[in-house]
Structure 1
Amino acid sequence: MKGLFLGLTTIDIHHIVDQFPRPDNKVKSHDAPDILIGGPATNAAVTYSHLGGRAHLVSAFGQNIFNSFLQEDLRKFNIEHHDLAAHREEKPVITSVVTTSENGDRTIFTNQPAEYDVSFDSRGLMEENQFDFVLLDGFYMQKAHEVACEARRRDIPVILDGGSWKDGIERLLPHVNYAICSEKFMPPWCSGKKELFSYLSEKGIRHMAITRGGKPILYKDGFDVVELPVPEVKPVDTLGAGDIFHGAFAYYLNRFHDFVPALEKAAEVAAHSCQFAGTRVWMQ
């Protein structure tokens, strides 16, 4: 099983503290911060590879002091990488994450990735590889749209990681087969989950779900919205849980070829990951 993942790659600097600081206060983290490779599509690709799939990641990283760190991390998981900024000196997208050990909640500071006006031969990539699906996280919208159109032409399923609403994402939706959205994914003209489900249905998406952290997943089954319970765990860290969910969903969808069982298994994997700090320790 081989999947194409297109989207964001970041450098995550991750602190764990007892509690978030008040204004004009300084707190010390438990240990030295972890430096991790992150980003929605990247974490999903790593999860998919860890579970047993073959992943091909398309993202923009560029030439910088973290490049060898990125390549080594991807090699560990046998992930092929196409860098949209391969020949440019670029600063990476840096994400600073502070997690409280009290309940696993986190605060994230990050910068917006640049769009890259580079030629990308999506048709050639798909001719060279037999991808079972494409997963898009909504970043690099022009390239995502190209890939989604080519996937649609080849009858390759497209999975959308709808973490948040992004400008231009409405162009992607007619090419999406599976939309897995967070509660924060809300078009400006929709005022609630019922309207969101209706809007996605109007775009031709048959399989859709909304993840809500520790609350039951909502998914559309015909005309009905159904609740799917998720495992109850005491979270240590929720960093990357949504990304891990999407990678696991892609893996089990290709194993079971059944939407709801894939959601159930993905929820199990994501809940398990929340019992460990960071986005990699759960794999050990």
Structure 2
Amino acid sequence: MADDRTPPPPSLVCCGLTTLDVVQVVDAVPGPDQKVVARDLHVAFGGPAANAAATAVALGVRTTLVTALGDGPVADLVRAGLRDAGVEVVDLLAGRPADPPVSTVLVTASTGQRAVASTNATGRPDDLGPAARAALDVLSGATALLVDGHHLAAAVVLAAEAGRQGVPVLLDGGSWKPGLASLLAHVDVAVLSGDFRLPGAADDGPDRLLEAVAALGPSVVARSAGGGAVRVRLGARYDEVVPPPLAPGELVDTLGAGDVLHGAMGAALARGRDPLTALREAVPVATESCRHAGALGWVPSSARH
């Protein structure tokens, strides 16, 4: 008898950091004791997991963000922005007085490059594991889980449960964080930034790094390289995904491009794509985001919530 069961609708869960981003466009990043006048100012939510969640929603995938906001004026502002972006939120600090971190971002107008100062999750509560265990039903119906390495205790709880349920786990590996090995043990696909380094490991080239990270758990490991090719390790073989080229003058802003890459890949995995296909679908979306200001400037106004 043929199996006429329909697959579940794509549903992505993202777990990680949410910030309030204060973005100013400048002609040049100021030096010591220097003050500059910004060309533009934009205030919105940010953070790897939050931007990834909004990206997946923009690509048509229902997405829930598990994060730590708390009850405070900045948290209320961020929560409203996520709601407007169509992201469902599970707040691990609900009912507790707190606010998410604030990131200051300076974007250089002529190059689109950015400088960021942020506390990230520094100073945030590190007892979020019990709250995550109480919220495990967020994985009900999920077809992929994305973690960014922040709120590590919560991420490990969700990733371990996702593994038990057969839900693929994607890591946004922006940088090494203490304890990350405990999360990597539950990760299926890790996509690293060009800045990612293993502590104490020699810099012997990208393939050795991919091999070393794969030894910690993931079956697929990739590493982005800005506008260059994304190197991918799939089991014992290697491949590359080359981004579409940007013509001179097309680069507007690289802010959040990595987050967009991970969100688009998470959306593709949630739709049942294999990791290499998902990466091939995600890379052009990240490139397109660099043609626009802000992490979500590429999203058509008609698709915004």
Q: What residue number does 2:50 align with?
A: 42
Alpha-carbon distance in structure 2 between the residues aligned to 1:82 and 1:116: 17
Any gaps of 5 or more consecutive residues in structure 2?
Answer: 1-9, 301-305
Give per-residue Cα distances to partners, 1:19-54, cap 9 Å, x unaligned: 2223222111113x1101000000000000110001
Q: How many residues align?
A: 283
TM-score normalised per structure 2: 0.88
Any gaps of 5 or more consecutive residues in structure 1?
Answer: none
1:200 and 2:194 aligned? no
RMSD between superposed Cα atoms in Å: 1.7
Give the alignment partner of residue 19 of structure 1, picking from 10, 21, 28: 28
Alpha-carbon distance in structure 2 between the residues aligned to 1:261 and 1:149: 25
**1:15 partner amino acid:** Q
TM-score normalised per structure 1: 0.94
**2:126 partner amino acid:** Y
Q: What residue number does 2:6 align with?
A: none
Give the alignment partner of residue 166 of structure 2, picking from 150, 155, 159: 155
Give the alignment partner of residue 116 of structure 1, picking from 126, 134, 140: 126
Alpha-carbon distance in structure 1 between the residues aligned to 2:46 and 2:154: 20
Alpha-carbon distance in structure 1 between the residues aligned to 2:214 and 2:24: 40
**2:242 partner amino acid:** P
Alpha-carbon distance in structure 1 between the residues aligned to 2:272 and 2:141: 19
* Matched-pair identity in %: 35
Q: Is the 8 A contact 1:85 1:116 kept in 2?
A: no
**2:136 partner amino acid:** L
Give the alignment partner of residue 52 of structure 1, picking from 50, 60, 66: 60
Give per-residue Cα distances to partners, 1:44-94, cap 9 Å, x unaligned: 000001100011111111112123322322222332211111112213200
Q: What residue number does 2:3 align with?
A: none
Alpha-carbon distance in structure 1 between the residues aligned to 2:68 and 2:135: 18
Q: Is the 8 A contact 1:123 1:150 kept in 2?
A: no
Q: What residue number does 2:177 align with?
A: 166
Give the alignment partner of residue 246 of structure 1, picking from 233, 250, 262: 262
Q: What residue number does 2:226 align with?
A: 213
1:79-118 maps to which residues of 2 (within 5 A)?
A: 79-113=87-121, 114-118=124-128
**1:18 partner amino acid:** D
